[in-house]
Amino acid sequence: PSGTPVSSQYLGTLKVLEDKRMQKSSTEFDKADGLRAAVFQNWLEKKRTFLLELKRIEKKKAENLRSNAEKEEAVKREEAIASFEAWKKKKGREAKKLSEKKKLEELKKKKAAEQNEEKTEAAQKAFEKWKERKAEYLREQSRKEKQSERIRKKKEEELVAEKKRDSMSAVEKWNEKKEEYIKQKKVEKILERRKQEIQQAKKEEKNKKAMEEYERWLEKKERREQLEKKQKKLQAVRGDEVSSPWSPP
């Protein structure tokens, strides 16, 4: 049923009944109307009861929803707390592991530093021993080199003396060869000079002949040019005396 107010004859009749039942009508119509009013009154009572029950149910639903929401919130809060506690434990374990790892690394570094220090000391001792052996070796090498140098100088002196003896005889032989070579070169120079003089004479003779030939050719050329000039003059004079009716191109 809707909650809209009802305005009808039934309400009017109900209103009459609530106002301490006005005078009763003995007519059949009034009886029927009263009956209908009583039925309507009963319906209104049921409706009010139904609405109250409906409100109670809705209120209970709302309380259940609120209770469920509070329970869910509590569960979520407990889960969050449990997750946080688990996270804290995990972080604690990780921090513990990290701390142990850091301690282990520091221990390794310390051990490595100690080993390095031991290696450095051992290397220093080995270096000192090596320096001593090196110095002894250098002294021995210096002694051997000095001895070798003395032997080498002695050999060089002997070799120089031997070369000097050989060079004396070689110089004598070379001087002999040099004199022979100089004589041969002088003869070659004389022959070369004679050859150049002959070639120069041939060249001068050739140039002289060429000059004479050129002078003869020049004289011939001059005579030919003079003859051609004379012929041209004669032809010009004859041309003036008798003009030809036709002249070739």
Distance CA 218, CA 212 (A): 10
Residues 82 and 38: their CA atoms lie apart, in Å, by 64
Taking the whole predicted model, whether its pTM rises above 0.75 is answered as: no
pLDDT digits (tens, 9 = 90+) for 176-220: 888 888 988 888 889 888 888 898 988 888 888 899 899 999 999
Helix then strand count (H, E) for the chain reads: 2, 0
* CB atoms closer than 10 angstroms to residue 37: 19
pLDDT band with cut points at 50, 70 and 90 for residue 227: very high
Residue 128 has pLDDT above 50, yes or no: yes
For the ranges 2-16, 43-57, 135-149, 186-200, the lowest mean pLDDT is seen at: 2-16
For residue 136, pLDDT beyond 60: yes
Residue ranges covered by each domain of the chain: 30-113
User: Backbone dihedral region of 3: left (phi > 0), alpha (psi from -120 to 50 degrees) or beta?
Assistant: alpha
Cβ atoms of 40 and 15 closer than 8 Å: no
C-alpha pair distances (Å), 232 with each of 94, 161, 221: 136, 100, 16
pLDDT at 1: 39
Task: Report CA dihedral (168, 170, 171, 173) to the nearest 10 degrees.
Answer: 130
The amino acid at residue 21 is R
b/e burial code for range 183-207 (CB count within 10 A of at least 16 → b) = eeeeeeeeeeeeeeeeeeeeeeeee
The whole-number pLDDT of residue 220 equals: 92
Over residues 19-66, the pLDDT tens digits come to 545 555 455 556 677 788 888 888 989 999 999 999 999 988 888 888
Tens of pLDDT, residue by residue over 69-127, are 888 888 888 888 888 888 888 888 888 888 888 888 888 888 888 888 888 888 888 88
Cβ contacts of 13 within 8 Å, gap of 6 or more: 33, 34, 36, 37
Q: Is the pLDDT of residue 242 over 50?
A: no
